[in-house]
Structure 1
Amino acid sequence: MGVVSTSGKSFQIMRQMPKLIPPARPTPREIKLLSDIDDQSGLRCQVPFVGFYRKEENHDGGNNKEDDPVKIIKAALAEALVIYYPFAGRLIEKPGNKLAVDCTGEGVMFIEADADVTLEDLGELQPPYPYFEEILYDVPGSSGILHTPLLLIQVTRLRCGGFIFAIRLNHTMSDGCGIGQFKKAVAEIARGAAVPSVTPVWRRELLNARDPPRITCIHPEYDVPASYSTAKNPFATISDLVDTSIFFSPAKISALRTLLPADLRLKCSDFDVLTAWIWRSRTRALQPDPQEEVRLMISVNSRSRSNPPLPEGYYGCATALPVALATAEGLIENQLEYAVDLVMKAKSRVTEEYMKSVADLMVLKGRPGLMVASTFYISDWRRLRYDQIDFGWGKPIYYGPAKLRPQMKILSYYTWKKNKQGEEGISVFLCLPKFAMEKFTADIDRIGG
């Protein structure tokens, strides 16, 4: 049992003992190698997600409203694990730091819980959450990378009839698209489908290093000095860090576009202009040395950038992390179009050859970690459409990232969100020291719209 407080209200969460949910039927016992993109050092971590669902009286999702979401989701999960059976196994490490899945069929870890609180009592349903450790309990011994469950799931029933679906992923197994595909499969089965609409595809060898490996592209994202710790946190010595979510309405995005030349407005996306503005404003707020090199790292899905594209249903990691570079002075003193151009050029570098070069680099350089010093890292979750995942009780009010890992406070997420006026805009979840957050939010207030 846990007692937490939010929006001025204390509430209790009663958890049952964690259980392993194995596949509903026997599955192959085999060893399956991860790709050389999957098992890089920067992905050897756990990533949490959370979705909030209300009880919709008029929703026809195929379930009787008296049905229990815990019971429905557990059964669907066991069925989904029959075809996604590697998730029911455990990671092992082979020579050369090579990761593989031992498909043991042991299952994923599942927690059933109840909270004496309503969705309305929880207040704003976007990160950061003061009660997160209770709605996704970190089972002792479960958060390692090797020899532990690859998924941890907690479903918490709420007093209003809604529920919270929280999940933690061993990131080496899947990227955002991959785990989204799995969650969609569980949701489809929960709504009565015999099989999911997309058949899972393993095929991790498609993103393995070549023979012989050869680095053919520039990869500043992996420029890590020999003495540099991959877990180094640029904010490690700062005690007053602030995590927050900020809503950018369509009007604010349009106002940012007016700062660009007419031809660039037509070519750039909302992501390009917003990312460029945030990178520039964030850098100004942090007040670095003018000649310091500052970096923007962007998460780019490479699935469609191969020829042919990766097969539909591929659920491994296929994300590239290209980097834009500038001096702090150059980024701040130039107009917004300078930063937008850097963002667009960084994204365009992700090609099939680029991904092959990354895989080759991993093998040749011993799977180096990511360079995070003076880096701002953006991951756009809007196209993942987690807000469409329906277990039979309607679409979630919010579904997205749950928290920033201590070693990755440089990371920022974009998700869809509706404001109180019903406008769908972009919610930006980020972290800054308090002094910088105050300067950053003052910049936001000066945007028109």
Structure 2
Amino acid sequence: MEATAKNNVLIIERSSPAMVQPEYETPEGSIFLTSIDQVAVVHVPSVYCFDRSDANVVDVIKQALAKVLVHYYPLAGRLAINSRGKLVVDCQNKLGVPFVEAIADCNITNLGDVRILDGDVLGKLVYKEPTQDKLEAAPLLTAQITDVSNMKALYEEQQLVYKSFLFDAEKLAALKRMATKDDQVTSRCSSFVALAAFVWRARSMALNMKLHQQTKLLFPVNFRSRLRTLLPDGYFGNAVAMPCCLCTMGDLIEEPISASVERIKKAIESVTEDYIRSKIDFLDMHRFEGFPTGTLVINSWTSLEHGSTDFGWGEPRFGTGDVSSLTCLFMAEGREKGIMVVLGLPLSAMDTFNKLVCDLNGA
């Protein structure tokens, strides 16, 4: 991995920046800068490396930053030019400090001497705000927290195994009981939602994700019936959206499965016409660059009419192959037999996932 990192193939996945403000109210107005401070305005990128602890690193540093900004409140402001044409720090323009959480595909020790990091690697470890080159809009401080994902190595070092699991009526009923046994959700819970919640949790546990790591669930939702304006006659293009459920592994496994069900139901309900139009605008501006580590994409094919293809030889037995390691398929298993779940996992993770499915028999 050291050679890979030095060849500038370090992969960093960043969250959207959140603006951190001082924990308490701070003075406003502007702060005069001396002529010495007017000479050169530059951003200095720097990397601090620490050994991990069991604490939620992101929350610890974010809270610490909010406390520090009470005393160093000018850093939450922006530069401005006064009536004399001189630079000042505008403390009334409290836009805050951009704070970004990121995940790397290797350990910091694999990058070699951090005192002389390659420019490309440094650029991935230090967040650069898009406005950084605009003097009066650029933040005076940015912060990026990077944790390490070990899933890439798991996929590279172990054989990828594909397996199918039948969730019959009895197992689906057990999942629904688990999903609705408290007051967090209503008694109405579809088979898809209950099964998706279980698979999301079980797969994340099987991959032994760290508690601080983010895990993301995506699934296609047909939005044809959700539009105020009907699609034109003859339209046969794509009409699906991919709403997202996102949380840390710690939240996912510490909360009851009913909470995961609620996350999924809210994601489905979020697919409105406004959501679709916003998504299209976003995709027009940003190129799709693939899914980050820790993502699960569930495609439900249970409603597809595979059995309607009839050449006079009876119903076909439908199959597929070359399923992405990030993808899980839900497939109908005959009439009234249940749902077949198809996915691929590293060998050790598949053993764990299989055990979690077997444990449902006693639920």
TM-score normalised by the chain length of structure 2:
0.54
Task: Give the structure with the higher percent strand.
Answer: 1
Specify every segment of 5 or more residues in structure 2 that has no aligned partner in the other structure, as ranges.
1-122, 125-150
Aligned residue among 174, 177, 193 for 1:258: 177
C-alpha distance 401-315 of structure 1, shift in aligned 2 (>3 A): farther
Q: Report how far residue 311 of structure 1 moved.
A: 4.3
Pairing partner for 1:245 from 164, 185, 192 = 164
Q: Cα RMSD between the aligned structures?
A: 2.4
> How high is the TM-score relative to the length of structure 1?
0.44
The equivalent position to 2:330 in structure 1, one of 414, 418, 438, is 414
Question: Does the 8 A contact of 1:297 with 1:377 survive in 2?
Answer: yes
In structure 2, the residue matched to 1:27 is none
The alpha carbon displacement at 1:262 in A equals 6.4
Secondary structure at the counterpart of residue 392 of structure 1: coil
Q: Which residue of 2 aligns with 1:361?
A: 282
Identity %: 33
Show the counterpart of 2:318: 399
1:201-234: CA deviation from partner (whole Å, max 9, x where unpaired): xxxxxxxxxxxxxxxxxxxxxxxxx97xxxxx95
Which structure ranks higher in relative contact order (CA pairs < 8 Å, sequence separation ≥ 6)? 1
Deviations along 1:31-51, whole A, 9 cap, x unmatched? xxxxxxxxxxxxxxxxxxxxx
Q: Which has the higher helix share?
A: 2
Q: CA deviation at 1:236?
A: 5.0
Q: For 1:47-126, list aligned pairs within 5 A.
A: none
Deviation of residue 362 (structure 1)?
Answer: 1.9
Q: Which amino acid aligns with 1:257?
A: K
SS in 2 for 1:255: helix
Instruction: Give yes or no for the alignment of 1:333 onto 2:254.
Output: yes
Unaligned runs of 5+ in 1: 1-225, 228-232
Given that residues 182 and 258 in structure 2 are in contact (C-alpha distance below 8 angstroms), is that contact kept between their aligned partners in structure 1? no
Q: 1:350 aligns with which of 262, 266, 271?
A: 271
Match of 1:430 in 2: 343
* Aligned counterparts of 2:295 and 2:307: Cα–Cα separation in 1: 29
Rounded to whole Å, the distance in 2 between the matches of 1:244 and 1:301 is 27
Find out whether 1:380 has 2:296 as its counterpart.
Answer: no
- Following superposition, the deviation at residue 310 of structure 1 comes to 2.5
Larger radius of gyration: 2
What residue number does 1:207 align with? none
Q: Which amino acid aligns with 1:428?
A: V
| Aligned twin of 1:268 | 189
1:122-271 matches, cutoff 5 A: 234=152, 236-259=155-178, 260-261=180-181, 264=185, 266-271=187-192
Match of 2:215 in 1: 294
How far the C-alpha of 1:423 sits from its partner, in A, is 4.7
**Cα distance, 1:430–1:265 mapped onto 2, change above 3 Å:** farther
Give the number of aligned pairs.
212
* 8 A Cα contact 1:255 1:447, kept in partner: yes
Q: Could you say if the C-alpha distance between residues 395 and 265 of structure 1 is closer, same or farther in structure 2, counting changes exceeding 3 Å?
A: farther
2:344 aligned with 1:441: no
Maintained 8 Å contact 1:386/1:400: no
